[in-house]
Amino acid sequence: MRFALVNNERCEAEPKLKGLCPYCHAPVIAKCGAQKINHWAHKSLNDCDKWWENETNWHLAWKDKFPKEYQEIVMNNDITKEKHIADVHLPNGLTIEFQHSSITPQERLSREKFYKDMVWVVDGTRRKRDFSKFLKGRTTLISHQPGVINIYKFYCSEEIITNDWSSSTVPVVFDFLGMPKQGDLVDTRRLPLYCFLPQKVQGQACFFEITRETFIYNTVNNGWQIFTKRQMDILEEAAKFVK
């Protein structure tokens, strides 16, 4: 995690600093090495949030694109007494969860139910062949017009993306860029994010492209819900004319 409690204040990891986990209050150790972005680590995750996963640099770097005060927010449900650490939770009510590891449909759904207004950001580089399959599986559903962004329909016989994520009830954003090393040649098609919508057309998943900057700006500045709603409306309208 990026933040631990040190004398009751949220602090980033620094060498030799000792802290407590804001969720389970177990001691956590500051990890400040060359390999990984500075972070805090539990000695054991046994008593911590069962949804918490050991974080990759991808995970830590994504969170850090958002204002510090919105990262790693402990959220409570007063009725069920359930509590979890949201990766990013914004004052407008939106939660953003970054997912590197595979996740079962049951666990995915329970998180969607808990956070309600949320968006997933998925590490699309975890499995090497997913990106090429993704490129093969898409067709343009609505082409570009002024003020309207491209929406694609996604066909894929091997169901790489649809397998884990197609039944999602919230938007799912795929990041196929990952964490390229300096000097790596990057396929420019990996630069945008690809946001899958919960709505389907003829049973097929649909998505639109969005720049990283627009995604971050919209989520932080209240625009995300309106933005995705508009894409869904366009999609539903277009679906009427798809044979």
Q: How far is CA 120 from CA 9, 25, 86, 104, in A?
A: 28, 27, 11, 14
d(CA 2, CA 60): 7
Q: Which stretch binds Zn ion (CB under 5 A): 47-55, 89-97, 135-143, 203-211?
A: 47-55
Nearer to Zn ion, 71 or 231 (CB): 71
Instruction: Output the smallest distance, CB 9 to Zn ion, in A.
Output: 17
d(CA 220, CA 229): 16
126 in Cβ contact with 104 (< 8 Å): no
Q: Which of residues 17, 41, 48, 232 is near Zn ion by CB under 5 A?
A: 48
Nearer to Zn ion, 43 or 240 (CB): 43
Nearer to Zn ion, 17 or 24 (CB): 24
Which stretches within the chain are classed as H helix?
Answer: 57-63, 105-115, 130-137, 160-165, 212-220, 224-239
Binding residues for Zn ion, rule CB under 5 A, total: 4
Instruction: Output the smallest distance, CB 45 to Zn ion, in A.
Output: 7
Query: Does 70 sit near Zn ion (CB under 5 A)?
Result: no
d(CA 42, CA 215): 31
Task: Kindly identify the residues of this chain, within the stretch 19-38, that bind Zn ion according to CB under 5 A.
Answer: 21, 23-24
Instruction: Output the smallest distance, CB 132 to Zn ion, in A.
Output: 38
Q: Which residues bind Zn ion (CB under 5 A)?
A: 21, 23-24, 48
